[in-house]
Chains A and B, each alone.
Chain A
Amino acid sequence: MKARLAVGAVLGAVVLIVLAAVPSNALNRIREWPRGSVANIVAKESGVPQARAHGTWKVRDTSNGTRSISSAKVQDLRPGGNSAFVELRTQSNSGICASPEYTSCTKKWYHYKSDQTRRTNSDRWVSLSASTSVDQADSFTRGVMKVCEDQRLSPDPCSGYTYTYGDKY
C-alpha cells in the first residue's frame, strides 16, 4: 500500500514537472472565423449585401519568420463592379491572458499590423490570404477580420470586425 502510494506520488510529480517544462505555445492552432453560429461576415451598402467571407486564422512559423495568417474564402455578391477583399488586423496583448482560449487578459488588445488580401470580382468562393509578422514584445495574438468592397471614389463599405480567440506564440 505504501509502495503504491509512493509510486503514485512520484508519477504525479513527474507529470507536474513535465507539464511545467513543456513550452505552452499554440503555433498552428486553427481558429475559425467568424466565431459562433454566424456563417459569414457581410459587407453591405445601403442595406444591400456586396461581399461576404469566412475562413481560418493561425500563428505559424514560416521561412519568413513567425506570421499571423488569415486564410479567407471571399465571395463578391455583386460581381462585375467593385471587387471584394478581406482585411486582417493582427492584435497583440502585453498582459497575461487566461485559458480557455485566452479571452480574458489583464491588458487590452492593441493593434499591431494590418494586411489585405488580393481583390476578387468573382461570384464564386475564392481563397485569398493575408498575413503579418507578430510583435516580439508580446506573447499573445489574435486575428481581427472584416470584408470590404473596394470603391475608388468613396469610402469602402465593410462588414463589422470579427475576432478570433487568442493564441500564445
Chain B
Amino acid sequence: MRRILQQAIALAVVVVLASATAGWATQGWRSQSKPLRVFDGGVAKGAGYGSFSAAPASGRVKVSNAGKLRDLKPTGNSIYHDTRYSFFTCGSGCNAATGSTFQSTRWNGNYWRKFTPSKTHNLSSAYDFARGAIKVCEDQKFSPDPCSGQVVTGFDHF
C-alpha cells in the first residue's frame, strides 16, 4: 500500500515537473455559455471565447490564442478576435519591454469554430510577467470596427 502511494506520488512529481519544464503557460478567457460579445447599434454581432498561451523556445516565445468564434449575424460582415500582448520587466516599477498584436482569420458562420493565430516573438531578456488583451470585433469595410470590451489576462514568468 505504502509502495503504491510512493509510486503514485513519484509519478505525480514527474508529471508536474514535466509540465513545469515544458514551460508553457495558458489562461482561458470567457466560455461558450458566457462569451465576449461585440455589439453594433445595440445588436449583438458576434461572440468568442478561448485560451491565450505562451510557450518559450530558445530565446523566443510562441504566443498564441486559440479562440472560438461565432457570427451571430452571419449574413453581413465577418468577425475575428484580436490579441495584444506584452512582456513586462520590473524594477521599481514594471514596464512593457516588448510586445505585438495579431488577429484571427475572419469568420461568418453562425456556429462555433476555432481559430488559433500565433506569433513567434524574439525575447532577448527575461521578463517578469506577460499580459494579453483580447477582444472580439466585427470587420467593417467603410467604418471603424466595433469591438467588445477587452479581457485582460496573463501570467507570471515561466
Contacts and interface: CB of A to CB of B under 8 A. Distances in A.
Given A23-B27, A65-B148, A66-B153, A18 B16 contact: yes
Interface stretch (A8-16, A30-38, A158-166): A8-16
18 contacts: A10-B13, A13-B13, A14-B12, A14-B13, A17-B20, A23-B27, A24-B156, A62-B149, A63-B35, A63-B36, A63-B148, A65-B135, A94-B93, A94-B95, A95-B92, A137-B86, A138-B94, A169-B152
Interface string A51-91: 00000000001111111000000000000000000000000
Contacts of B95: 94
Most buried by A among B35, B93, B129, B150: B93
B113 interface: no
Contacts of B135: 65
Given A7-B6, A11-B9, A136 B133 contact: yes
Contacts of B30: 61, 63
Interface of B: 2, 5-6, 9-10, 12-13, 16-17, 19-20, 25, 27, 29-30, 34-37, 84, 86, 88, 90, 92-96, 129, 131, 133, 135, 148-156
Nearest to A66: B152
Contact of A106 (B5, B92, B154): B92
Interface of A: 3, 6-7, 10-11, 13-14, 17-18, 20-21, 23-25, 61-67, 94-96, 106-107, 133-139, 169
Contact of B86 (A24, A107, A133, A136): A136
A19 B131 CA distance: 20
A100 to B, nearest CB: 18
Given A133-B149, A136-B86, A169-B152, 6 more contacts: A3-B6, A64-B148, A95-B93, A107-B93, A136-B84, A136-B131
A152 B95 CA distance: 42
B93 A106 contact: yes
Contacts of B93: 94-95, 106-107
Nearest to B91: A106
B104 to A, nearest CB: 17
A22 to B, nearest CB: 10
A10 B88 CA distance: 33
Given A23-B156, A65-B135, A136-B131, A14 B9 contact: yes
A6 B2 CA distance: 13
Contacts of A133: 149-150
Contacts of B34: 63
B143 to A, nearest CB: 20
B152 A21 contact: no
Contact of B96 (A18, A107, A137): A137
